[in-house]
A and B are shown apart, each in its own frame.
Chain A
Amino acid sequence: NAGVTQTPKFQVLKTGQSMTLQCAQDMNHNSMYWYRQDPGMGLRLIYYSASEGTTDKGEVPNGYNVSRLNKREFSLRLESAAPSQTSVYFCASSDVSQGFYGYTFGSGTRLTVV
């Protein structure tokens, strides 16, 4: 049971480059999320998708775009990377429809923008 799988695990980008972080879950969860984690700031929500076909902004959406490709996959795209986007990115999923509201997290992507 893989849970939530994120790729890549590590990435170094130059300022202005673009990249897509991939996330897939195999638990048939409806909701998926992208967070970033920075020292002293805690986890902050970038974007979320309550269900397939919908996406909404979180606390810190600027500089990012997302795609809910299907129920399993939720990708995060940086169109023009900036040093301020250096962070650890986590994808998560949850399912409220079955009475369980817990979250499952991926192992994270450590991104450095130079």
Chain B
Amino acid sequence: KQEVTQIPAALSVPEGENLVLNCSFTDSAIYNLQWFRQDPGKGLTSLLLIQSSQREQTSGRLNASLDKSSGRSTLYIAASQPGDSATYLCAVSHSNAGNNRKLIWGLGTSLAVNP
């Protein structure tokens, strides 16, 4: 059974710092991995999606990497800002999930960027 773990559960950093959020998964036979952001009381926003054949994806100050063999992904946030404060969630889909690509979720890392 696929399990997704995110460490740390919470992180507090000063503004401007570069930081790394970690996601690990137990079954390397994934189809893709996604990083989401959730603001308090709000829905989830998709940040980056990495297909199983890819090593990384970049969007602005965000860079996500994927190492299937070791079951790990990292989300790198450069020059963090207070507006980056949110919970970051990692989710994987199984390679045999058919046309629906159901997601298995981590519990998230709650990030606070302090001015």
Contact = CB atoms under 8 A, between A and B. Distances in A.
Interface of A: 4, 30-31, 33, 40, 42-45, 48, 50-51, 56, 58, 90, 92, 94, 96, 101-108, 110
Interface string B72-115: 00000000000000000101010000111111011110000000
B contact face: mostly helix, strand, loop, or mixed? strand
B65 interface: no
A48 B42 contact: no
Nearest to B108: A42
B18 interface: no
Contact of A50 (B41, B99, B107): B99
Contact of A101 (B44, B49, B108): B49
Interface residues of B, number: 25
Contacts of B49: 101-102
Contacts of B101: 31, 94, 96, 101
B112 to A, nearest CB: 18
Interface in B25-66: 31-32, 34, 36, 41-46, 49, 51
B100 A42 contact: no
A51 B99 contact: yes
B37 to A, nearest CB: 11
Contacts of A107: 42-43
Interface of B: 31-32, 34, 36, 41-46, 49, 51, 89, 91, 93, 98-103, 105-108
Contacts of B93: 101
A108 B38 CA distance: 11
Nearest 5 pairs of A and B residues by beta carbon: A107-B43, A105-B44, A105-B43, A50-B100, A43-B105
B105 A42 contact: yes
B46 A103 contact: yes
A91 B103 CA distance: 13
Given A31-B100, A58-B102, 11 more contacts: A31-B99, A42-B105, A43-B91, A48-B100, A50-B99, A102-B49, A103-B46, A105-B36, A105-B44, A105-B45, A107-B43
